[in-house]
Amino acid sequence: MAPEQTPVKRGRGRPPKSERNFTDTKAELIKSGLVLLTEHGFIASGIDAIVKNVAVPKGSFYHYFKNKEDFGYAVITAYGEYFAHKLDKHLTNDAFPPLTRIENFVNDAKAGMTRYQFKRGCLVGNLMQESPQLSEAFTSHLQTILGEWQQRVSRCLSEAKSCHQIAEDADHDKLAALFWSGWEGAVMRAKLYKSTQPLEEFWCYFSTSIKK
């Protein structure tokens, strides 16, 4: 019979190596944060709830992130990349005319909000409401992400001009900015009323107003 082994003591804040590797655990923490921050916001989301979803000790959180803001920065970066991929999936699909591509994105978003019972919405939009309580670096990062999304819509609207779907003298950059301002408001209203109608009304108005 093999001798009984004495359990190896881990240093405070170090995750168990045998259970999952560094990358997996960090990714799971970010995934947990995506859900909690999207549903409850940054300020209301506590670290206890974040680590509970991943089943790791609270001390492990600080092995991966310096503090809560460092964690929040990682979460919105991941969300920004995820959402940019979603936009690219629709807005660069040249099987459809440019305005139809944007409409396909709108329909995808409607399906997503319905699937999660209107609890999530847009993480960046949610955090924009908390910006007065967030650091300058954090809000600057939000602006950068939103700007990248805006550029994607602007490029699609530029193609719409080339296809004569909208007026040739239309300012596609300004229209893209207006799209996101209106879209984030429509998402908030959709959450409030638990209905996709605000999204539908916004897209109907926006798409009609920019056509030739």
Instruction: Express each pLDDT in 74-131 by its tens digit.
Output: 999 999 999 999 999 999 999 999 999 999 999 999 999 999 999 988 999 999 999 9
**Residue 139 tokens, joined:** 């809000």
pLDDT level of residue 69 (50, 70, 90 thresholds): very high
Q: How confident is the model at residue 22, as a pLDDT? A: 53
Q: How confident is the model at residue 21, as a pLDDT? A: 57
In 3-state terms, what secondary structure has residue 176? helix
Burial class (CB in 10 A: 0-12, 13-18, 19+), 85: exposed
Half-sphere exposure of residue 110: CA atoms within 13 angstroms, side-chain side: 15
pLDDT one-digit tens code per residue, 141-184: 999 999 999 999 999 999 999 999 999 999 999 999 999 999 99
CA pseudo-torsion sign 114, 119, 123, 125: positive
In the predicted model, what is the mean pLDDT of residues 60-66? 90
CA–CA separation, 183 and 202 (whole Å): 7
Return the CATH fold of 69-210.
Tetracycline Repressor; domain 2 (1.10.357)
Q: How confident is the model at residue 23, as a pLDDT? A: 62
pLDDT one-digit tens code per residue, 4-62: 444 434 444 444 444 445 568 899 999 999 999 999 999 999 999 999 888 888 888 99
Residue 2 has pLDDT above 50, yes or no: no
**Residue 43 tokens, joined:** 């300020």
Q: How confident is the model at residue 20, as a pLDDT? A: 47
CA–CA separation, 117 and 105 (whole Å): 18
CA–CA separation, 13 and 56 (whole Å): 10
Q: Are 101 and 90 in contact (CB under 8 A)?
A: yes
List the chain domain ranges.
Answer: 69-210
Q: How confident is the model at residue 4, as a pLDDT? A: 41
Burial class (CB in 10 A: 0-12, 13-18, 19+), 132: exposed
Q: How confident is the model at residue 60, as a pLDDT? A: 83
Long-range contacts, 166-170 (Cβ 8 Å, 24+): 166/99, 166/210, 166/211, 166/212, 167/210, 167/212, 170/210
| For helices 47-54 and 22-40, angle between their N-to-C axes, nearest 10 degrees | 130
Q: How confident is the model at residue 57, as a pLDDT? A: 86
Half-sphere exposure of residue 27: CA atoms within 13 angstroms, side-chain side: 5
Prediction pTM value: 0.85
